[in-house]
Amino acid sequence: MASISETASRLAELPNVILKRDVPLSRYTRFGLGGPAAVLLDTADECSFVKALSIARKSGLRVEVIGGGSNLIVADAGFDGIVLRFTGNEIRSDGNTVCAGAGAVLQDLVDYTIHQALAGIHTMTGIPGWVGGAIYGNAGAYGRSMHQNVIWVRFVDGEIAREVDNAGCRFRYRHSAFKDNKSWIVLSMAVDLVPAEGDDLRRQADDILSIRNAKYPPTMKCAGSIFKNLLLVELPEHVRAQVDPKVIREGKVPSAYFLEKVGAKGMKNGDIHVADYHANLIYNAGVGTARQVREVIDDLKSRVRARFGFDVEEEVQYVGF
């Protein structure tokens, strides 16, 4: 196995890269948590990213690829390996087709499509993170998800970059083939949108953003909803019988419904709090730790399992644990 120093030196020789040592990952996550990465490399150069990924993986060291950090919980001890970020953020359009790099901020893409008077992803306004993460987790809101508009996704598989069509992405609720194949790293994607009235799209987006900001203030150190909502048809029959029909939306039951039943609202573990107005919102109120976040998450999962007999599943991803 190569050493950190040797690998960092090889990576630093690549063109168009920014390489840093011992960087606190708390700077790169919305939770504001996490210890240092031994090496952090950023590049918007696709060729250099593919080469960097190959060098890192062949080194025998631990390797993680991250994006905007909106759904990450990084261990307090940090990550004793190589962290890579593809920061290519170009956004361009050709008619109703809009292409974006994985490193583009999702909000920038949403705003671009509204400016172009194209409907389809305008309801995703206010969702934090980058485009690559939105593809990875099939992000969505207000009845829309990325899978409904994606034409193709370009990604690196091993040492080559290739494209896959919508069907090949195997999208389902908050899931994609990229979650099943951790070695597949999204580089860019294209969506097919529908012409619409730009002013109407902006009004809709602004209304959604107001609701979202009231629930998840932009300054709040959180990852949005911690747990995925549940598909009603996948719940055990005895659980379905207990669900209030009024909370069911588009065949889904909010995880918050079950979390509230087990007393989640207002829970505290140091500076890690569960919002007193939303049972599926965990936030860092000051100097909380990743360990405390995990303890709260594990406690809530245990409570739901004990009362209802099934597991709630996190939307967040873990690094360094």
Query: Which residues are catalytic, by number?
Result: 174, 225, 315
Could you give the CA distance from residue 265 to residue 257 in angstroms, rounded to a whole number? 11
| Total residue count of the chain as it appears in this document | 321
Using DSSP's 3-state secondary structure scheme, residue 93 falls into: strand
Tokens 């590049």 sit at which residue?
A: 43
Q: In the beta sheet, which residues pair with residue 171?
A: none
Which single residue is written with the structure tokens 């606190």? 24
| 27: region left, alpha or beta (phi > 0 left; psi from -120 to 50 alpha) | alpha
CA angle in degrees (0–180, nearest 5) for 63-108-12: 30
8 Å CB contact between 30 and 107: no
Q: Beta strand pairing status for 272-274 and 268-269? A: antiparallel
Copy the structure tokens of residue 215.
């629930």
Segment (H or E) for 72 = strand 72-74
Q: How far are the Cα atoms of 67, 144, 217 from residue 224, in angstroms, in the given order?
A: 16, 17, 10
